């Protein structure tokens, strides 16, 4: 009945089918962070930062997640400003230095295009530090356009594992009035990280691990203070 609903459902099915092999590796990596009490760091700029935010201090979500939420990566202080900053080399290292990162932690870097300096260089920082890096990106879009800074590799060429969000170039699933619309990358990215997180939780539970999961603050009787205390020294924005 609704074209966007039909397109979204087909996209999610496509993501699972296209990424069966890589998900079979990425999910155990995420499970290992839960089992070993390591941190999952997430990074994205522009709308891609929403994917990391989806995992961060989320009711029903994992507490061992550190999202890079500096205002320069978001659109809240100026959409054009953030679009320009994400293309500047060197900024990611500044943000990296403001977080506590162990080399055993896991990194998830999200960029639909995979061509801008900040996500590319954040992945490079993580790799140089010895961290495993999972990229979530559109392979079609990334291969279609050149990197912003000549000589750099694209995100999918740097990461240890690459999950294709299967989003078409331009980030739209529909043609309406001659315009490409019906944004896809956010719904695709949030689906991917929640799929990985929940499947990882299953593995950790099978190992006898008590899951570090937040309760909703909007139900009576919740208590997240123990988790806040456990992670406040390792997660910047708690």
Please tell me the predicted confidence (pLDDT) of residue 185: 97
Average of pLDDT values for 220-236?
A: 94
Asked if residues 40 and 65 have their Cβ atoms less than 8 Å apart, the reply is yes
Q: Per residue in 17-40, pLDDT tens?
A: 999 999 999 999 999 999 999 999
Please tell me the predicted confidence (pLDDT) of residue 154: 97
Please tell me the predicted confidence (pLDDT) of residue 82: 87
Please tell me the predicted confidence (pLDDT) of residue 1: 82
Q: Is 140 exposed, middle or buried (0-12, 13-18, 19+ CB in 10 A)?
A: middle
Q: Where are the domains of the chain?
A: 3-9+29-209+223-230
Q: Would strands 132-137 and 106-110 be described as parallel, antiparallel, or unpaired?
A: parallel
Q: Per residue in 43-55, pLDDT tens?
A: 999 999 999 999 9
**Predicted confidence (pLDDT) at residue 150 exceeds the cutoff of 90:** no
Q: Per residue in 179-226, pLDDT tens?
A: 999 999 999 999 999 999 999 999 999 999 999 999 998 988 888 999
Gap between the Cα atoms of 236 and 52, Å rounded: 14
**Predicted confidence (pLDDT) at residue 174 exceeds the cutoff of 90:** yes
Instruction: Provide the angle, in degrees to the nearest 10, between the axes of the packed helices 20-35 and 185-206.
Output: 50
Average of pLDDT values for 146-151?
A: 90
Please tell me the predicted confidence (pLDDT) of residue 234: 97
Asked if residues 89 and 125 have their Cβ atoms less than 8 Å apart, the reply is no
Average of pLDDT values for 111-125?
A: 96
Q: Per residue in 75-95, pLDDT tens?
A: 888 889 888 989 999 999 999
Gap between the Cα atoms of 54 and 193, Å rounded: 8
Gap between the Cα atoms of 150 and 36, Å rounded: 39
pTM above threshold 0.85: yes
Please tell me the predicted confidence (pLDDT) of residue 222: 84
At the topology level, CATH places domain 3-9+29-209+223-230 in Rossmann fold (3.40.50)
Q: For the chain, give the percent of residues with pLDDT over 90.
A: 89
Q: Per residue in 56-78, pLDDT tens?
A: 999 999 999 999 998 888 888 88
């Amino acid at each position: 009945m609704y074209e966007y609903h039909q397109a979204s459902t087909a996209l999610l099915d496509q993501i699972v089918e296209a990424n069966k092999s890589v998900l079979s590796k990425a999910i155990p990596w995420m499970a290992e962070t839960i089992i070993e009490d390591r941190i999952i760091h997430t990074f994205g700029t522009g709308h891609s930062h929403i994917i990391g935010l989806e995992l961060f201090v989320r009711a029903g979500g994992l507490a061992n997640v550190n999202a890079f939420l500096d205002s320069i990566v978001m659109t809240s202080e100026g959409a054009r400003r953030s679009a320009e900053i994400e293309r500047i080399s060197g900024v990611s290292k500044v943000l990296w230095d403001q977080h506590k990162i162990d080399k055993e932690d896991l990194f998830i870097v999200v960029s639909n295009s995979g061509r801008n300096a900040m996500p590319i260089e954040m992945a490079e920082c993580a790799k140089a530090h010895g961290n495993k890096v999972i990229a979530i990106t559109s392979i079609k879009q990334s291969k279609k356009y050149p990197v912003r800074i000549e000589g750099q590799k694209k995100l999918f060429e740097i990461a240890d594992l690459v999950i294709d969000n299967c989003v078409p170039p331009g980030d739209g699933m529909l043609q309406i009035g001659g315009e490409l619309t019906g944004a896809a990358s956010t719904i695709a990215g949030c689906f991917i990280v929640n799929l990985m997180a929940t499947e990882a939780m299953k593995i950790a539970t099978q190992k006898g691990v008590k899951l570090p999961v937040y309760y909703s603050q909007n139900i009576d009787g919740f208590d997240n203070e123990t988790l806040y205390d456990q992670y406040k020294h390792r997660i910047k924005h708690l």
